[in-house]
Amino acid sequence: METDTVKKDKNTKLFLHLKKWLEKAVLDYSMIGEGDKLLIGVSGGADSFALLDLLDSPMIFVPKFSFIAVNIDMGFDPDYVAYRELEKYFQEHQYPYVMEKTDIGVIAHSDINRKNPCFLCSRLRRKRIFEIAAESGCSKIAFAHHRDDIIETLLINMFYGREISTMMPDQSIFGGKLHIIRPLAYLTEDLVKKYSRERQFPTVKNECPTSENSKRKYMKTLLNELERDNPDIRHNIYTAMSHVKPDYLPFRSGKKLC
């Protein structure tokens, strides 16, 4: 949907590599069907710009689909600088879009919810995204979570949630009426960020007051430290999720500890 004035050459080696693995993920998990209408969540971060840009490219193996970009402003910036920058980007590229100004972030970080602002913030934002998907006739919601996000979520759930689980590349919700898909599931954060720099996407500052002090930030730092001794640490954790040996796990479902 890009106009000639804003279109850049996408046929770089990096683009072709990312596009190959995006299409593979889509096909492996049957994320997109013929005629699907996708809602693409665009936060303004580099990952979401990359996802939008890659999906707005001619597909080789993926069936034809349409999409609408959606941004939920969390209310941290009273001047809406990032909001206006993102809206300008959508308009220049002639993307169909929905943008909403909310106070979700402010409420989640208020005095009444000091304990876990990230949980409430995410829950309220997703609730509104689900509503917009229904209003727009979208059966699929595409988020820009990549392989590193999946690895970090596994560790967060183990360390803090006392369970072994993570993000699914294709997750059915509401009895199958809606699907959350993650087309970047096979791609590393480094490559996605590199592509964002190559494409020179706008820099939209994250104004969240806890963005640099979150559990996810902690996991990212921890993994970086572990990677100094073992460069394959992320790859090994990711691969381990497909090599589960239940017979060598000590506890069964429902069995209580002392």
In a domain, 5, yes or no: no
Q: Which two tokens stand for residue 1?
A: 């949907």
Query: Is 141 within 8 Å of 47 (Cβ atoms)?
Result: no
Mean pLDDT in residue range 184-213? 88
In a domain, 251, yes or no: no
| pLDDT tens, position by position, 239-255 | 999 999 988 988 766 66
In a domain, 252, yes or no: no
Enter the pTM of the model: 0.89
Provide the CATH number for the domain around residue 179: 3.40.50.620
Distance, CA of 131 to CA of 30 (rounded, Å): 23
Judge residue 222's burial from the number of C-beta atoms within 10 Å of its C-beta, 0-12 exposed, 13-18 middle, 19 or more buried.
middle
In a domain, 257, yes or no: no
Listed in sequence order, the DSSP H helices in 6-103 are 13-28, 46-55, 81-92
Sign, Cα dihedral of 209, 106, 88, 18 = positive
In a domain, 177, yes or no: yes
Burial code (b: 16+ CB inside 10 Å, e: under 16) for 175-213 equals eeebbbbbbbbbbbbebbeebbebbebeebeeebeeeee
DSSP letter assigned to residue 257: P
Q: Range of 182's domain?
A: 13-242
In a domain, 248, yes or no: no
Q: Residue 108: pLDDT band by 50, 70, 90 thresholds?
A: confident
Distance, CA of 177 to CA of 171 (rounded, Å): 11
| pLDDT tens, position by position, 144-175 | 999 999 999 999 999 999 999 999 999 999 99
DSSP letter assigned to residue 170: E
Burial code (b: 16+ CB inside 10 Å, e: under 16) for 113-126 equals eeeebbebbeebbb
Sign, Cα dihedral of 161, 129, 76, 109 = negative
Considering its fold, how many domains does the chain have in total? 1
φ/ψ (deg, to 5) at 36: -60, 145
Q: Residue 11: pLDDT band by 50, 70, 90 thresholds?
A: confident
